[in-house]
Chains A and B, each alone.
Chain A
Amino acid sequence: MSGARRIPGAGLLAGAPPVSFCFDGHRHTGVAGESLAAALIANGERVVARSFKYHRPRGVMGIGNEEPGALVTIARPTGDEPNVRATTVELYDGLEARGQNAWPSVRFDLTAVNDVLSPLFPAGFYYKTFMEPVSAWPFYERMIRRIAGLGEVPRVADREIYTSTHAHADILVAGGGAAGLQAALIAARAGARVILADENPWFGLGLLGETATIDGLPAHDWAREVGKELAQFENVTLLKRTSVAGRYEQGFVILCQNLRDAPPAAGDPMPRWRLWKLRVKQTIIATGAIERPLLFANNDRPGVMTTSAAVGYLDRYGVLVGGRIMVAAGDDAAHDAAARLARAGAQVTVVDSRDSGSRIALEAGASVEWRARAVNTRGRAGVTTVRIEGSAGHRWVPADIVATSGGWSPALHLYAQTGGKPVWDDTRQMFIPGTTEQGAVTVGACNGTFDLGAALGEATSAAVKVCEAIRLTAAARSPVAENSHDTAGAGQWSEVRGRKRCFVDIQNDVTVADLDLAVQEGYRSIEHVKRYTTLGMGTDQGKLGNVNGVKAIAEARGEAMSAVGTTRFRPPYVPLPMGVVAAHLSPDQHHPMRRTAAHQLHEAAGCVWLNAGAWLRPQFYRRGGETDLEAVNREVLAVRRNVGLVDVSTLGKIEIAGPDTITFLNRVYTNGWSTLKVGMGRYGLMLREDGIVFDDGVTMRLGEQHFVMSTTSSGAGAVYEWLTMLLETRWRDLRVTLMPVTEQWFAAALAGPKAREVLGRVAEGFEVSNDAFPFMGGRVGRVAGIPARVFRISFSGELSYEINVPADRGEELWTALLDAGRPEEMAPYGLESMGVLRLEKGHFVIGREAEGRTNPYDIGLGRMVSTKKWFVGKEALDFPEMKNPRRRQLVGVVPANKTERLPSSAHLVLPEAPDKVGGSQGWVASMAWSPTLDHDIALALVEGGHARTGERLLAYAPIAGKKVAVDLVAPHFYDPDGGRQSG
């Protein structure tokens, strides 16, 4: 039974409108803007969740991001949101929440049978069983998986709007408590660009109920005034509801801002979350401290919460968490809290482990018992009684809330993420920053400074120093805190061992006994214990439990806290919605799709699109009811017999200029360039430094010192970078300049025996006759009135001209060429048809036949390898393995029976032993139906292939279950002498 109630007029939201919300089918009334946790408490909802492993009832234990227990699913029209900490979601009208990880409900959960069986499930039990029979593991695993997990992943992609932004600032202040506000104020007055971020909707929450005054004002009023002053500065950005999630190198910080919890009204474009990618010169970490719970038996029941949370609900929301509150204190701060709770009307008992201390709670009407501790609780759906162990012996005391106060843990996450080393302070019993971090400074409670006056002073001097570091002069005026004292003290530990279950990690059900067992079994390192028991691996990442865990481990090991240390602090500090992390990179931004200048025309012509690397390219252009193959056959035959047009804009283009270009080309290509004349081009083969084929293409000499290099489509970027690297790092003496121009040009190739006629109709300023414009020639002029570079080169093996025009005139050229080819009924052809044409010619393609392990000899291009000069990769061709006769070499493949089709993706195996393990002789790299030859053809890479022409093998595709007898032939199926392209 909960004695929680609202205290009229109390809290920061006094006067806010009531709203209606629903939890697990119960309709309740709350206050707009309070946390769901506050509303649940005020409405007497005690069991709001179930734990991960034993499905024990869980209530609200904290008040912010540290909350380990109260995880709920929020139903939203944009998609349900699992695992939401009830302490961090702000109540809005119509909010619907429900319990999770329970069946049928969190109030009555049948899966809680796990709890009864818990003796069988100690830490790491799964490593010790479920091994036999091996075949049963999938069954056990399914069972384990179903019990584990927490909420359900949304059924469909949620439709929330996420956004991200980049920002720069001089100083980030993380945390808007007293220290953070003061630091921000000093920096703001000094003129620094400041961003102050706090995860709460209000600054200075820690000052609520503070008895000290600052500059004569009640502490929280001071905070409000500072907040107002900061808001006046143009150089200050105040970010409330914003978590500083991760600190990275060189002042890069990730912040996550909650812009609204309520679902958007129709058409409201306000995003839910915003990711800030911030670059700052300095970070002031003022993230405060988190109160440490106490370890005692059954310390996980709903109703057990930290004292700061218990009083926080009163101070912030005017919600008194219970009627009978037991405060298990270990320092004076807990007495301050107890006093406030008592004054609000609760019946408060303080048990304090010390001999004496503050009298403030006593004076406020609480009963106080010194040298006493809470050691156990009872209560089915939440605490009803607490067992006290004091000088007068043991007794059970009725209570609906146990507010525990173990001490404080500075929030060191941001400090430690980039390498800061926390150290154990034995006097104050807490981990504090042990080293200084470049670009960051910790102040206030997160630095272990709990006295308000001292924290303000620390913040002031840190801010002054930080300003100096960025060459700003700051006035070092620190406000005067009166009646300020260090209430945190050294805290207390409860020493509970034995078989009673004391929970260290409330979410993952890790008990002290589990930690003891881990140490007993030799898992002594904190990282081993964590991994063996899952300590701190929940959604709260151990913000409440981890230091208690370290303590328990230290005791089990019989060593000091400092010998145990902490686990690594990893970003993010709070879980980040994946949608907001991805907000910056939509799929198309992630991998942009590239389209050529004639994209619309291809689309209009009914092309079938193909994803080719980063490019979207026409595969073929279907007419009427043609099948894919019929369309390709038609296009191929048109080129062989008539003329066709293809978009080749994707080929990389690099302009090269300078007197040493020939020397440069001689070094980067395997073949020689010294004899290349102006107006002529040459095919070049480029190797990687390890002797493997890297790229190829034609380089055309347009002028004495002016060249244009063509690269493969996929290699355009890499080739340019590699060539500039060579020029900038090794060959600085070469007078050569490169300019990548792929995007500046549109290119189309006219190919086929009638290409000359078509070009002749639109060529201006150059002649097209074979004598005037020979094979491998290049001309500059106009085509259809458009300035153009025309290269007579061929990939199809037919007479062919590649016409390059400025990209913005690509559509114009494409249309003009199709018009010019009307007498021949010229049609466009696509990438697939181009593939068939080149295959018939036996041209290799980078990425297929030359597949990253292929040297020039392997693909029969030994003649391209000059012996008279040095070139990149030359030394590597002398590696013994490069001349191994068993290397995979390029051969042609045809079916032994020409009427049979080759299986795709096949390997070649010996006919007598097709299934011999490891028996692959090589594989088919490219294959196609040749409409010119009327049978399938293929290029393959075969071990020792050059010497095996004439051999009969099996093309074998085991997955498809197909085998076809094939003959190895020379890899040129059509016009091997090349007469057609040069005539």
Chain B
Amino acid sequence: MLLISCPFCGERPEDEFGFGGDASVRHQGGGDGTEPASVEQYADYLYLRDNPKGRHAEYWVHRYGCRRWLVAERDTVTHEIFSVKSASEGGTG
């Protein structure tokens, strides 16, 4: 049972949270008004992952808490959590 330190609610157990995947992938174009990505670029964005063995920046949502999105940096081998930030401040997406 991971212990995730929600910046809004404090330390809470894993089962209050939902996982949102790799936070390092970036959507290019479109919504922010810039040129849309090519189909190939988009496919890579959608499907390819670094899948690191070690530090991983990832989204979590405090589903049964404040319902805010967070970006955690966690070790995928030891499950050590190095940092948790609000996605709207510290997010990388």
Contact = CB atoms under 8 A, between A and B. Distances in A.
Interface of A: 248-252, 277, 279, 419, 438, 667, 689-690, 717, 720-721, 724-732, 740, 870, 872, 874-876, 878-879
Given A875-B37, A876-B46, A250 B2 contact: yes
Contacts of B49: none
B59 A875 contact: no
Given A249-B1, A249-B79, A732-B88, A874 B20 contact: no
B34 to A, nearest CB: 10
Interface string B64-93: 000111010000001111000011100101
Interface in B7-35: 13, 18, 20, 23, 27, 29-32
Contact of A725 (B3, B39, B43, B87): B87
B6 interface: no
Contacts, number: 86
18 contacts: A250-B2, A250-B3, A252-B13, A277-B1, A279-B1, A279-B3, A721-B61, A724-B61, A724-B68, A725-B20, A725-B59, A725-B61, A727-B88, A729-B87, A730-B31, A870-B36, A872-B31, A875-B36
B88 A729 contact: yes
A721 B18 contact: yes
The 5 A-B pairs at the shortest CB distance, nearest first, are namely A729-B93, A875-B42, A870-B30, A250-B3, A252-B1
Contacts of B81: 250
B31 A870 contact: yes
Nearest to A667: B31
Contacts of B42: 875-876, 878
B3 A874 contact: no
A492 to B, nearest CB: 39
B20 A875 contact: no
B36 A874 contact: yes
A729 B69 contact: yes
Specify the main secondary structure of chain B where it touches its partner. Answer: mixed
A829 to B, nearest CB: 34
Contacts of B80: 249, 438
B27 A730 contact: yes
Nearest to B3: A250
Q: Contact residue range for chain B?
A: 20 to 34
Contacts of A720: 67
A728 B91 contact: yes
Contacts of A725: 20, 59, 61, 69, 87
Contacts of A878: 39, 42
Nearest to B20: A725
Given A724-B69, A725-B61, A730 B2 contact: no
Contacts of B93: 729-730
Given A721-B61, A879-B43, A251 B3 contact: yes
Contacts of A279: 1, 3, 13
Contacts of B27: 689, 730
Q: Which of A252, A438, A726, A728 has most chain B Cβ within 10 Å?
A: A728
Given A250-B2, A724-B69, A870-B36, A729 B63 contact: no
Contacts of A731: 31-32
Nearest to B31: A667
Nearest to A734: B31
Given A249-B1, A875-B30, A729 B59 contact: yes
A730 B36 contact: no
B30 A874 contact: yes
Contacts of B20: 721, 725
A277 B1 CA distance: 10
Interface string B34-64: 0011010011001000000000000101010
Contacts of B69: 724-725, 728-729
A740 B93 CA distance: 23
Given A729-B93, A870-B30, A879 B3 contact: no
A879 B87 contact: no
A255 to B, nearest CB: 13
Contacts of A251: 3
Contacts of B23: 729
B14 to A, nearest CB: 9
Given A689-B46, A721-B63, A874-B30, A728 B37 contact: no
Given A721-B18, A875-B39, A728 B79 contact: no
A43 B91 CA distance: 70
Contact of B67 (A438, A740, A874, A876): A740
Nearest to A726: B31
Nearest to A731: B31
B88 A728 contact: yes
A250 B31 contact: no
A885 to B, nearest CB: 19
Contacts of B88: 727-729, 732
Contact of B39 (A729, A872, A879): A879
A878 B31 CA distance: 16
Contacts of A724: 61, 67-69
Nearest to A419: B78
A740 B88 CA distance: 19
Given A438-B80, A875-B42, 19 more contacts: A250-B2, A252-B1, A252-B2, A667-B31, A720-B67, A721-B18, A721-B20, A721-B61, A721-B63, A725-B20, A728-B69, A728-B91, A729-B59, A732-B88, A740-B67, A870-B31, A874-B30, A878-B42, A879-B39
B32 A730 contact: yes
Contact of B46 (A690, A726, A727, A730): A690
Given A725-B20, A725-B61, A878-B39, A250 B91 contact: no
Nearest to B18: A721
B91 to A, nearest CB: 4
Given A690-B46, A721-B63, A875-B42, A252 B32 contact: no
Contacts of B30: 870, 874-875
A874 B69 CA distance: 24
B79 to A, nearest CB: 4
Nearest to B71: A729
B78 A728 contact: no
Given A251-B3, A721-B63, A870-B30, A728 B68 contact: yes
Contacts of B43: 879
A728 B23 CA distance: 12
Q: Which of B1, B71, B78 has most chain A Cβ within 10 Å?
A: B1
A439 to B, nearest CB: 10
B78 to A, nearest CB: 7
B24 to A, nearest CB: 12
B36 A728 contact: no
Contacts of A729: 23, 59, 69, 71, 87-88, 91, 93
Contacts of B36: 870, 874-875
A506 B79 CA distance: 37
Contacts of B3: 249-252, 279
Nearest to B92: A729
Nearest to A250: B3
A915 B93 CA distance: 50
B87 A728 contact: yes
Contacts of B18: 721
Contacts of B86: 728
A251 B2 CA distance: 9
Nearest to A689: B46
A667 B86 CA distance: 23
Contact of A248 (B1, B32, B61, B71): B1
A146 to B, nearest CB: 40
A875 B45 CA distance: 11
A717 B59 CA distance: 17
A526 to B, nearest CB: 22
A774 B91 CA distance: 44
Nearest to B69: A728
A419 B46 CA distance: 34
A870 B27 CA distance: 13
B45 to A, nearest CB: 9
Nearest to A249: B79
Nearest to A690: B46
